[in-house]
Amino acid sequence: MMWPRCDQTAAWALLRTAFETSGKSFDLCDAFAADPQRFAHFSQSAPHVFADLSKNLVDTAVEQQLFALARQCGLEQHRDAMFSGALINSTEQRSVMHFLLRNGLAGQFIPAHAAIDKIADLQAEVHAGLDRMLAYAEQVRADDAITDIVNIGIGGSDLGPQMAVLALSEFAIKGKRFHFVSNVDGQELSSVLAQVKPQNTLFLIASKTFATLETMTNAHSARGWFEANDGQDIARHFAALTSNVAAANAFGITTTFGFWDWVGGRYSLWSAIGLPIAMAVGGQGFRALLAGAHAMDEHFRSAVLEHNLPVRLGLLDVWYRNFHGLTSRSIAPYSSALRRLPAYLQQLEMESNGKRVDSRGQTLPFETAPVLWGEPGTNGQHAYFQMLHQGTSVVPVEFVAIKKASHSLPGHHSQLLANALAQAQALMVGKTDSGGHKHFPGNRPSTFLLLDALTPTSLGALLALQEHRVFVSGAIWGINSFDQWGVELGKVLAKNMQVRLVTGDAQGLDGSTAGLLGHICRDQ
Ligand code: F6P
């Protein structure tokens, strides 16, 4: 069935009217005064995550209309299509089944998944791959001679594992260091190589395609360094995490961990790409991460829209982007361990939904993905929160806080939590001052996500929540959230430019690029 484009639904028109009549003058403090139950209405528990949505510029009537919009756009059917293995990544003719990587771990199969052809075979293959990968992780964990694990990968083959290894550092094995090399800037690899010895190092070459320029360049240099420094036994010191095992073999790597084309790069930390995480936290920890994500999958798959947290978050994103016209969202994890979360979410949201055409290639007449950005709290408070409180643009802030600290230093955690709560409060209530400079307009929206503790399970749930909320806004906008054609042009031009850097040939280039090329080549 063809679903109408979101801006052609009745709900969209009603939302437009609601925005004009009351939405744009909505006042959060008035809303709390008018509805003593507002917190209860706009907060909810989902697996391992408690969410307070009550400080958002939305009332029950608008939220109801957003649910109507979701239904009129076929959100539930699109979600079910993903869970049934349909080829929803239409431009690449692929299923989108990262949820399968975390399914059936307790032996049960989810009935809706039975629609996938040969589901049992596929799931058995997934579990066999997981068992093999976790056995290898345990083997490396027990190997005292391996002290350094160097993950070479970029994008989804770097951001997820790096973010999760940092987030779970309290659970990580002692005596092993984890390094992440992504940039083609040789500075990054050479500074890691200066700290490690060939006989004590395991290189993980993480690349779904095994063709990405940065990763291949770093992988070749790492192997060159290994051989030049009397490194012995590539099979022991290099492993590849890839869906292109043949290319890894051709590179000379025989220890390989594969995965499937239905796992998108930015959704791949649950696959073999998660090996550094498994090496850090162990097989049990990795299974707990998967279990947390699976619990959120089940919530997203089965909860009614009105109590479905990814749906509520994704719809708020649409409300802010398309009706309030807000251009960005700031991520504020009040947890130093989650300091790479904003970078990870940037790829998740902006590579998934940063598109100007729908899944049939038709140009969209409305805005799609916002800019995502952020730093951990409290650091951000001393940098850009000034603008969040008093700047000319309204930026919804997403706070992530952890109830229970992972350390025992007295006093710190209550200060951290106090600051998170106070910032959300200040954004909303503001402060009246006739002096101008000291006036805070308030009424600035935020969402507050609260985890009991930062554990593999809660992290898994938090990340799956984010994956699904991105799915929701993408589905409403009618775009294919699972391709990334926008990164291709730059890759092609860079290849051409590399030749020009050698020859100095500027023919056919635009004036600026030719001028820059001239400047670079002049002194070489
Ligand atoms: O930047 C484009 C992209 O394809 C991302 O989607 C992906 O995560 C990254 O490059 C790395 O790709 P690969 O794992 O194939 O090296």
Q: Which of 96, 154, 205, 355 to mutate to test the pocket of ligand 1 (most atoms within 8 A of CB)?
A: 154
Q: How confident is the model at residue 116 (pLDDT cuts 50, 70, 90)?
A: low
346 lines ligand 1 (CB under 6 A): no
Helix (H, G, I), strand (E, B) or coil at 503: helix
Q: How confident is the model at residue 104 (pLDDT cuts 50, 70, 90)?
A: confident
Q: How confident is the model at residue 88 (pLDDT cuts 50, 70, 90)?
A: very high
**What number is the average pLDDT over the span 32-50?**
98
Q: Which ligand 1 atom lies nearest to the CA of residue 156? A: 8
- pLDDT surpassing 90 at residue 114: no
Sign of the C-alpha dihedral computed for residues 73, 77, 81 and 87 taken in this order: negative
Cα of 38 vs centre of ligand 1, distance in Å, is: 42
Going by the DSSP 8-state scheme, the letter that residue 349 receives in this structure is I
Please provide the average confidence, as pLDDT, over all residues in the chain: 96
What is d(CA 473, CA 481) in angstroms, rounded to the nearest whole number? 9
**What number is the average pLDDT over the span 74-85?**
95
The protein residue whose alpha carbon is closest to atom 6 in ligand 1 is 265
Q: Which of 212, 242, 261, 467 to mutate to test the pocket of ligand 1 (most atoms within 8 A of CB)?
A: 212
What is d(CA 207, CA 152) in angstroms, rounded to the nearest whole number? 8
The protein residue whose alpha carbon is closest to atom 2 in ligand 1 is 487
For the ranges 41-45, 75-79, 120-124, 500-504, the lowest mean pLDDT is seen at: 120-124
What is d(CA 313, CA 172) in angstroms, rounded to the nearest whole number? 31
pLDDT at 201: 98
Q: How confident is the model at residue 423 (pLDDT cuts 50, 70, 90)?
A: very high
**What number is the average pLDDT over the span 72-83?**
96
Residue 394 to residues 28, 326, 343: CA-CA distances in angstroms?
Answer: 14, 7, 21
- pLDDT surpassing 90 at residue 122: no
Cα of 207 vs centre of ligand 1, distance in Å, is: 7
- Tokens in use for 130? 């997981």
Q: How confident is the model at residue 295 (pLDDT cuts 50, 70, 90)?
A: very high
Dihedral angle of Cα 225, 229, 230, 231, to the nearest 10 degrees? -50
pLDDT at 338: 98
pLDDT at 115: 52
Helix (H, G, I), strand (E, B) or coil at 52: strand
Q: What is the 3-state secondary structure (H, E, C) of 178-224?
A: EEEECCCCHHHHHHHHCCCCHHHEEEEEECCCCCCHHHHHHHHHHHH
Q: What is the 3-state secondary structure (H, E, C) of 431-471?
A: ECCCCCCCCECCCCCEEEEEEEECCHHHHHHHHHHHHHHHH
- pLDDT surpassing 70 at residue 106: no
Task: Give catalytic residues, as residue numbers.
Answer: 351, 382, 491
487 lines ligand 1 (CB under 6 A): yes
Instruction: Decide: pTM greater than 0.95.
Output: yes
**What number is the average pLDDT over the span 280-307?**
97
Q: How confident is the model at residue 522 (pLDDT cuts 50, 70, 90)?
A: confident
**What number is the average pLDDT over the span 213-221?**
98
N-to-C CA span, the chain: 60
